[in-house]
Amino acid sequence: MVCGMTTDAVAGPVQKPFLIGVAGGACSGKTTISERLTELAGAENVSLIKLDSYYVASTGADLAERQTSNYDHPDAFDWALLNDHLAALVAGASVPVPVYDYADYARSDEVTMAHPARIIVVEGILVLYDPTLRDRFDLKVFVDTDADIRLIRRLERDVVERGRSPASIVAQYLATVRPSHEQFIEPSKRHADVILPHGGMNAPALEVLLARVRELVRVA
């Protein structure tokens, strides 16, 4: 981890990267697909940016307030910072990506450095929602997975990885996750160039996407 907000410039001309946006509901398989793309292309060729890193800093809010906030609403994200960081990456500069602490429901004091690469993948529930962000992508992907599967995955993930109780997960799902999915995330699917049904488990659809990445790596 690197602390501070210093941006490192990269000397010399940089080829314009190919930007891919991977959207979809929570636990739809976005991470699986994004990591598969990175594995195929090679980490040296891909810069992976997660929308979760850009939750708005909740300065001044106590834990109870943070726990009840709607983290699936567009207002939960710092779109300006994310767009600034992507513009810098395209221009050939490294950027300090915030680190979000899921257990504390808050942005931590640490950052990780993201570096320019031939392919930039931005993954998150609402990456096809914000018009400025959406217009940056050369390829827009929506991972489409049934709601019951996503909820089961969310229960398993949040209990094991985030120390939350099943009751709190279900309460949050009913209060904010499902309504926001229906209002904001699902409608953003119409902006996608590629829709992957069944998420990362759809091997034929995933292979089509991977073929495009192979082509990009070959011509780089």
For residue 7, CA distances in Å to 14, 80, 142, 143, 145 come to 16, 16, 31, 32, 37
pLDDT digits (tens, 9 = 90+) for 49-74: 999 999 987 766 677 777 778 889 99
* Mean per-residue pLDDT, 147-166: 90
Q: Mind listing the pLDDT tens digit for each residue in 198-218?
A: 776 777 877 888 887 778 767
Domain boundaries, the chain: 16-219
Strand 139-144 and strand 18-24: the pairing is parallel
- As a whole number, mean pLDDT of residues 36-55 equals 89
Express each pLDDT in 189-199 by its tens digit.
999 998 888 77
CATH 3.90.1150.10 fits 16-219, yes or no: no
pLDDT tens per residue across span 73-107:
999 999 999 999 999 999 999 999 999 887 676 77
pLDDT of residue 14 exceeding 60? no
